[in-house]
Amino acid sequence: MTIAADDRRLNNMPRTEQTAVERRDRMFGWLIASPSLGLLFLVILFPVFWALYTSVHDYTLIAPNFDTFNGIDNYTKALGDPEFRHTLWLTAFFVAAVVLLEFALGFLVALMLNSVERFKAIYYAILLCPLLMNPVIVGLIWRMFLHPSLGIVNYLLSLVGIDPVNWLGSTKVALWTIVMVDIWHQVSFMIVLLLAGLSALPREPYEAARVDGASALRSFWHITLPLMLPVIAVTLLIRLIFAVKTYDLVYIMTRGGPGVATDLVSYFIYRTAFVGLNIGEASAMSAILLAVIMGLTVWLHRYMRSLT
Amino acid sequence: MASISLSNIHKFYPNGYAAVRDVSLDIKDGEFMILLGPSGCGKSTTLRMIAGLETISKGDLHIGGARMNDIDPADRDVAIVFQNYALYPHMTVIDNLSFGLRLRGVGRSIIDQRVANIADMLGIGELLSRKPAQLSGGQRQRVALGRALVREPKAFLLDEPLSNLDAKLRSAMRTELIKLHRTLGTTIVHVTHDQVEAMTMGERICIMKDGVIVQVGAPMEVYRNPVNTFVAGFLASPPMNLLRGRLSAQSLSLDGTVLALPPALGQAFADHAERDVIAGMRPEDFHLKADAAASTVPVEVHAVTTEVLGPEVILVATVSGEQGAEIHIRCPRDFRAKPGEIVIFHYDVSQLQLFDPETTYALKRPVQI
Ligand SMILES: Nc1ncnc2c1ncn2[C@@H]1O[C@H](COP(=O)(O)OP(=O)(O)OP(=O)(O)O)[C@@H](O)[C@H]1O
Ligand SMILES: [Mg+2]
């Protein structure tokens, strides 16, 4: 075992200086990346810092200036506002519902499609259709479909003897209606990503498992799931972040109503800023939301890492 | 433990390619069977059909007397070592080894003990907590072998399980497998390219070519009596020299060189006198000294080059002048010859094999002279 010992000693040696080649490669990397980095800075980092700066000032559209610094006032006010807290909880519920339902449904469909041999391209094309639509259009279409008296959905339900449902006007139903439309719109995203992951899985371990005596269910549990974890993690993360930002559907279909039944946080922040004209407080809310999303992302990433 | 019987088995892949054609083979309970053949001849396909990973297009497979064509791989109770290892990439070595046992509900303590034994035998005890990606090719191969061995199934199907090991480890593993077979007595089907493995490990060798079985027999039997020029040219290294020639009543002429045949041999081949033949001469049947008892005849060759292997020297030489056909001759380790040098060998004609140049099959020959 002298060779192994040598290896260990080598690994423990202090990191050597960068060679000239490494340094040149690094410089070249920065050079190539700099235009897009600059653009990113301009369109992402700058607005973020501007919003953070605004969030500690009394900045309204009536008095749009940075004259009054008010520290964390905007933050305490936002967090103390029961309506803001309500939208946070509502958004958490909405996000959990769409992400979990879309994941379950998406994984199921992806697994089925993965074992399909023929016409795969056609299924793909059909699946991609909703994804290609603008959310505003999705909202408009569904608003028409779901119209209490003129919509096709209630008409179809009446054919099988179900009473008309007030899809968007009932406080009990409206949020679930948004969830349903979001699933219709976004589930293909899950399917496509998960399907790509599934079709990239190696075939051999499954053969080994069959000979080792694993049923289809156990192969799924012991091989597919663990091997898919990285893909699942990324898919969930992306969906989660996008779901938190949901705004268009609410704007088009319910305007946060009835009452505050569908008042998701993005829509509420928009209202605070451009209806309530209070940019400072809206910026504070955005900062809080950003912190929550970042926290969630880090946690999910860590958690998924710990599983693999 | 179980016998494995293949009757008229065919495999047509979905693209229509007939990878295995009309293969019939009876592997006895507890037998160590070698599958030998050039790349692409259908060895892996045959093995995978026995394991149940490929459907059998035609024919019947019986394991332990029961028809297995439509039985799930899990219920055949065989273990396979895949040519490409097929380890579970996300599991540690120890989980790879124990997965099959855990699936079958074997108790924790028994699993631990068996895994420890196998890991010890294969020398992978220090790798147990690593993932396959952190192993070298040879280490992966040993884990793949271990995963099969630890199961203690009715039969082992080994697809080139030693191909990626260095010479020393390979020879050690060879011995281990032979010992294991002796103690467990499990039926083993072992696919290999390796001449030494083929000759030393198996009780019988099955030689395949282009999806069909060419010859089945005990190693020495196949070695001594290859049924055709393919087997003659495939088995052993260097293989049998195959030279075109003409047979007459008492002699064999090889493009100018005439070998006198002893009367007994001439008699045996009398039916084939006065016809073209392919003469098969093993490299080890050429001797430097005449041996009266072994009915040797002198052969003059022109040295081309020598390959010094250590324990022996392989002489590449031509018969019948410098433009003649090339042959390989196994010589003692201190033999030396310069290129172009003429050397006289004494060929033991009692070992001569004759083949029909048209069919490539062996001409009838007395077994003992
Ligand atoms: N899925 C497949 N579809 C079509 N043809 C195949 C398929 N798998 C293998 N073949 C063909 O079947 C033949 C036998 O393949 P097989 O893997 O059994 O060869 P082998 O004897 O194991 O070769 P090697 O020694 O190189 O491993 C080959 O010609 C191969 O190209
Ligand atoms: Mg093979």
pLDDT, position A5: 44
Contact state of B79 with A211 under an 8 Å Cβ cutoff? yes
Strands B66-67 and B78-81: unpaired
Evaluate whether residue A59 is within a structural domain: no
Evaluate whether residue A46 is within a structural domain: yes
pLDDT digits (tens, 9 = 90+) for B215-249: 999 999 999 899 999 999 998 889 999 999 998 87
Evaluate whether residue A137 is within a structural domain: yes
pLDDT, position B369: 45
Number of C-alpha atoms within 13 angstroms, CB side, residue B54? 20
Name every chain B residue with its beta carbon within 8 A of the beta carbon of A204: 82, 84-86
The dihedrals phi and psi of B254, each to the nearest 5 degrees, come to: -110, 85
Name every chain B residue with its beta carbon within 8 A of the beta carbon of A7: none
Report the pLDDT averaged over residues A33-60: 89
pLDDT, position A16: 60
Pocket test for ligand 1, best of B10, B39, B41 (most atoms within 8 A of CB): B41
Residue range(s) defining the domain that contains residue A50: 2-54
Pocket test for ligand 1, best of B9, B35, B39, B45 (most atoms within 8 A of CB): B45
Q: Decide: B40 in ligand 1 pocket, CB within 6 A.
A: yes
pLDDT digits (tens, 9 = 90+) for B347-367: 988 888 899 999 999 887 654
Rounded to the nearest angstrom, the minimum Cα separation between A210 and chain B is 6
CA of B57, nearest ligand number: 1
Report the pLDDT averaged over residues A110-124: 86
Q: What is the ipTM of this complex?
A: 0.81
Compute the mean pLDDT over every residue in chain A, rounded to the nearest whole number.
85
Are residues A243 and A131 both part of a single domain? Answer: yes
Q: Decide: B362 in ligand 1 pocket, CB within 6 A.
A: no
pLDDT, position A308: 64
pLDDT, position A174: 87
Start-to-end CA distance of chain A, whole Å, equals 30
Contact state of B52 with A211 under an 8 Å Cβ cutoff? yes
Asked if pLDDT for residue A1 goes beyond 50, the answer is no
Are residues A110 and A38 both part of a single domain? Answer: no
CA B44 – ligand 2 centroid, Å: 4
Are residues A108 and A43 both part of a single domain? Answer: no
Are residues A104 and A11 both part of a single domain? Answer: no
Contact state of B88 with A205 under an 8 Å Cβ cutoff? yes
| Interface residue B71 vs chain A (CB under 8 A) | no
Name every chain A residue with its beta carbon within 8 A of the beta carbon of B139: none
Q: How far apart are CA B56 and CA B7, in angstroms?
A: 11
Report the pLDDT averaged over residues B277-295: 87
Of the listed ranges A55-59, A111-115, B95-99, B362-366, the least confidently predicted one is B362-366
Residues in Cβ contact with A165 at an 8 Å cutoff, skipping those fewer than 6 apart? A148, A153, A154, A157, A173
Q: Decide: B19 in ligand 1 pocket, CB within 6 A.
A: yes
Report the pLDDT averaged over residues A202-219: 91
What are the structure tokens assigned to B360, written together?
Answer: 């490539």
Asked if pLDDT for residue A159 goes beyond 80, the answer is yes
Report the pLDDT averaged over residues A48-67: 84
Bridge partners of B332, per DSSP, are: B312
Are residues A170 and A97 both part of a single domain? Answer: yes
| Interface residue B73 vs chain A (CB under 8 A) | yes
Are residues A37 and A92 both part of a single domain? Answer: no
Contact state of A208 with B104 under an 8 Å Cβ cutoff? no
Of the listed ranges A294-308, B111-125, B305-319, the least confidently predicted one is A294-308
Q: Decide: B56 in ligand 1 pocket, CB within 6 A.
A: no
Are residues A121 and A258 both part of a single domain? Answer: yes
Name every chain A residue with its beta carbon within 8 A of the beta carbon of B100: 211-213
Are residues A256 and A174 both part of a single domain? Answer: yes
Report the pLDDT averaged over residues A273-278: 84
CATH of the domain at A114: 1.10.3720.10
B142, B144, B147, B150: CA torsion to nearest 10: -40
Q: How far apart are CA B77 and CA B191, in angstroms?
A: 19
pLDDT, position B1: 67
What are the structure tokens assigned to B116, written together?
Answer: 């420890």
Asked if pLDDT for residue A11 goes beyond 70, the answer is no
Domains along the sequence of chain B with CATH: 4-233 (3.40.50.300), 240-355 (2.40.50.140)
Evaluate whether residue A40 is within a structural domain: yes
Are residues A141 and A106 both part of a single domain? Answer: yes
The answer to whether the beta carbons of residues B346 and B288 sit under 8 Å apart is yes
Evaluate whether residue A222 is within a structural domain: no
Of A212, A218, A227, the CB nearest to B90: A227
The total domain count for chain A is 2
Are residues A37 and A142 both part of a single domain? Answer: no
Rg (Cα) of chain B, in Å, rounded?
Answer: 24
Rounded to the nearest angstrom, the minimum Cα separation between A110 and chain B is 21
Evaluate whether residue A70 is within a structural domain: no
Evaluate whether residue A214 is within a structural domain: no
Are residues A12 and A155 both part of a single domain? Answer: no
Asked if pLDDT for residue A248 goes beyond 90, the answer is no
Evaluate whether residue A123 is within a structural domain: yes
Asked if pLDDT for residue B316 goes beyond 60, the answer is yes
Are residues A90 and A48 both part of a single domain? Answer: no
3 state SS for A212-263: HCCCHHHHHHHHHHHHHHHHHHHHHHHHHHHHHCCCHHHHHHCCCCCCCCCC
Structure confidence at residue A278 as a pLDDT band (50, 70, 90): confident
Interface of B with A in 101-130 (CB under 8 A): 103-104
Asked if pLDDT for residue B169 goes beyond 70, the answer is yes
- Which residues have C-beta under 5 Å from ligand 2, the single-atom ion? B 44, 83
B324, B328, B333, B338: CA torsion to nearest 10: 20
